[in-house]
Amino acid sequence: MTTQDAPKRSLLSRISLNQWLAAILIVLAVVFIAQNRDRVDINFLLVTVTAPMWLVLLILFLVGALAGVLIRRRARR
């Protein structure tokens, strides 16, 4: 059987469980951000900043994602 004879897998069957979980978490994060758009005061050390909650949540989500990538990259070595 050659690669041309092999049955083609559908797009849904090519997506792994980890990819499905990541997609669900991203959708949940986006919904959570969209529903929390009020302006809030953020106190960090001696600095107080007023910013929209969605921006704060988005920044924290990206920081967490970056931390996950860095930890995973370090664990592979």
38 token code pair: 């009020």
Per-domain residue ranges of the chain: 15-76
**Distance in angstroms (rounded) separating the CA atoms of residues 71 and 74:** 5
H/E segment holding residue 52: strand 47-52
Our CA angle for 64, 65, 67, nearest 5°, is 65
pLDDT in tens, the chain (77 residues): 555 666 676 766 778 888 899 999 889 988 887 888 889 999 989 999 999 888 888 888 899 999 999 988 766 66
pLDDT of residue 5: 63
Closest CA to 54 of 67, 37, 42, 69: 37
Q: What pLDDT score was predicted for residue 37? A: 81
Dmax over Cα atoms in the chain, in whole Å? 68
Q: pTM for the whole thing?
A: 0.52
Query: Which tokens sit at 55?
Result: 């921006």
> What's the confidence (pLDDT) of residue 49?
92
What's the token pair of residue 17?
A: 């469980």
